[in-house]
Structure 1
Amino acid sequence: MLKKICGNTFYLPGPVNIGVYDHGDGSCTIIDTGIDKDSGRRILRALEGEGLTLVRIINTHAHADHFGGNAFLVRRSKAKVWAPPVEAAIIMYPELEPLYLYAAKPLLELQTKFLQAAPSPVDKIIEPGSRTEEGLEIVPLPGHSLGQIGVATPDGVLFPGDAFFAMDTLKKYFLPYFVDIPRARESLDRLQASKQYNYFLPSHGCLTADPREILAANLKRLQEIDHFILSALKREPKTRDGILAELVATYNLLLNPAQYHLYNSTLGAHLSGLAEEDRLEFFFSKGRMLWQLKGRV
């Protein structure tokens, strides 16, 4: 059942919150589609219950739990799919997601619906900063993924995708998934400074009119992870796997094939971010790539 936020803006709560904007003529746009065809069926039932016809899907980014319902909804409704650059390629060719996590043909354990959704057409590449004819604003929010966007409705509601995570998620996962830490910080800083939105609904979390505490907690977590890495490297240079092993042991992180590769990717994002900020460097020794503090003798 759809829940009204304000004006023509609604959402369908669930493991991934689905944004809905009523165009006012019986048609609507939705933001993201959940993980699979069951999510798609649930969305379609909710829209039909409100007398709405789906004409457009906007995907905030190309993680399986955000576009897994696309294929079903496109077949059933003939809706057009809009997605940002880079993300569109993965939505059309979802085998790229486990491929980039594993850096080769992925293990079978990574070829699941949680990392590899059903392929979906993309009918239009949308550029950050643009607007639809109904006034939906495409807001650049990279960091969690390379080309992630948020979608803001004319009612002042922002659907920011996974630009930030709820407090419960931060408590559960010490290493929230990001691929570009400097850009993630910039996105979080922009959201903190923004005064143009009345409501924020993250994909995993609750509706809020004031996300400042949550945004600050996300920024603090990124800082804590960087601090852990820098402290670990004060003692001696380490490989990426060595740093990850310390993180797993210190924070008692659960490991399985998917979680290991997600953690490893997030750690890599922190390492490259610290290198970009001129705080870390790497070198090769005895067949290993080692990380150390910049300028360490």
Structure 2
Amino acid sequence: MYEVIDVTESVKVLRAPVNVVFFFKSTLGKSECLVIDSGSSNEYGKKILKYLESQGVNRFSILNSHSHADHIGGNSFLQERTKCKIYATYFESVFIEHPQLEPMYLWGGPIFEGIDNKFLMAKSSIVTDIVEYGWSSELDVEIIPLKGHSFNMVGVLIDDGKKRVLFVADAVVSMQTIEKYKVYFLYDVHEHLKTLRGLNKWAENVDVVVPSHGEIFDFSKEDDGENKKREFLNLIKGNEKVIEDVLGLILGILVEPKTIDEILSEVAANFLIPIDATSYVLLLQTLKAYCSYLVNVNEIGLTFERGKLEYIRMH
């Protein structure tokens, strides 16, 4: 599934396992393009470059929504070939330029065999420009904070005069992704819940929502625009329900003090999640995020009484 579809005259989307957005601009007769994210590999980079060349693009830049490997995998190929600019927020830029930090952060120590793969560690690329929240006159887009899934993930609002298109990166994941992975990756549960609540409001102020994974929601279509809006709002509820389910499961597990590994083992067994090195470190960090949230809302606490860090219910 690699197909470029039209959203507006100036906004196109490469529909793929990881969606890539193209925002075309014309300046002094030279066709320019802002590419939002670059997929998970060199192959994405090759497909992106081939498409841009077919459209007569003379110059393009990349805006990375966040630093996860499946969103920056084409950066290195494209930058080496074209010397293109790459934009990102400051925090995410550090991980884009030093991608080995991703598996090191997930594991909490030096990289070992099994977490040194393309799913967790892309090739390095250079972030040439740092973006801030708000309107970017240089890029002609608005940068929207969407924290929670990653340290400082952003969405991108494009208004080309025809439609308002909001790229939401991994702020929501498809129900197919939830069914496949059961517990989707989060860095900060509190921030992610704020992001999901914010998306409910954005749904009333845009015409099209483009997530990184899954289908595009076009609210402007006369025949089924309202249905697409309902589908998107229901997807947000589905994402929130996963969080509620995992929080409830953790509280149920903590009938007695448990280590994070003991919690992980029971969560994996409950959701039938197969464990290997990659899935382990992703689930480990996600459950740490859930437990930190529960600590912050005083549902659980920490104890070191048995010579190890354990989580314990407060009520």
What is the TM-score normalised by the length of structure 1? 0.96
SS of the residue corresponding to residue 304 of structure 2 reads strand
Report the CA distance between 1:54 and its aligned residue.
Answer: 4.1
SS of 2:136's partner is: coil
Counterpart of 1:281 in structure 2 is 301
CA distance in 2, matches of 1:236, 1:96: 34
Name 1:18's counterpart in structure 2: 20
The runs of 5 or more residues in structure 2 that have no matched partner are 219-228
CA RMSD of aligned residues (A): 1.2
Q: How does 1:85-234 map to 2 (within 5 A)?
A: 85-154=90-159, 155-194=163-202, 195-209=204-218, 210=229, 211-233=232-254
Q: CA deviation at 1:53?
A: 3.3
Which residue matches 1:79?
Answer: 84
SS in 2 for 1:226: helix
- State the distance in 2 between where 1:96 and 1:130 align: 30
1:253-268 matched pairs, under 5 angstroms: 253-268=273-288
Q: Which runs of 4+ in 1 moved over 3 A?
A: none
Secondary structure in 2 matching 1:122: coil
Out of 57, 62, 71, the residue aligned to residue 57 of structure 1 is 62
Q: CA deviation at 1:285?
A: 2.4
Equivalent AA in structure 2 for residue 131 of structure 1: S
The separation in 1 between residues aligned to 2:88 and 2:107, in whole angstroms, is 24
Give 1:143 deviation, angstroms.
0.5
Which secondary structure state, in structure 2, belongs to the residue aligned with residue 24 of structure 1? strand
Deviations 1:64-92 (A, max 9, x none): 11011101111222210000121000000
How far apart are the structure 2 equivalents of 1:268 and 1:238? 13
Cα distance in 1 between the residues matched to 2:311 and 2:186: 20
Sequence identity of aligned pairs in percent? Answer: 33
For residues 243 and 191 of structure 1, the distance between their equivalents in structure 2, rounded to whole angstroms, comes to 30
- Is this contact kept in 2: 1:16–1:204, CA < 8 A? yes
CA distance in 2, matches of 1:37, 1:53: 21
Q: Is the 8 A contact 1:57 1:79 kept in 2?
A: yes
Residue ranges of structure 1 left out of the alignment (5+ in a row): none
2:6 corresponding residue in structure 1? 4
The alpha carbon displacement at 1:238 in A equals 1.1
Amino acid at match of 1:220: K
CA distance in 2, matches of 1:128, 1:228: 35
Q: What code does the residue aligned with 1:182 have?
A: H
Give the secondary structure class of the aligned counterpart of 1:23.
Answer: strand
- Cα pair 2:90 2:130 within 8 Å, conserved: yes
Shift of 1:100: 0.2
Give matches, 1:30-45, under 5 Å: 30-45=35-50
Hey, what does 2:260 align to over in structure 1?
240
**How many residues of Structure 1 are paired with residues of Structure 2 in the alignment?**
294
- The farther-off stretch of 276-285 and 113-122 is 276-285
Give yes or no for contact 2:34–2:139 (8 Å, CA) kept in 1. Answer: no
Q: Distance in 2 between matches of 1:49 and 1:14?
A: 19
8 Å CA contact retained: 1:80, 1:123? yes
- Alpha-carbon distance between aligned partners in 2 of 1:267 and 1:53, rounded to the nearest angstrom: 45
Instruction: Please report the TM-score for the alignment, with normalisation by the length of structure 2.
Output: 0.90
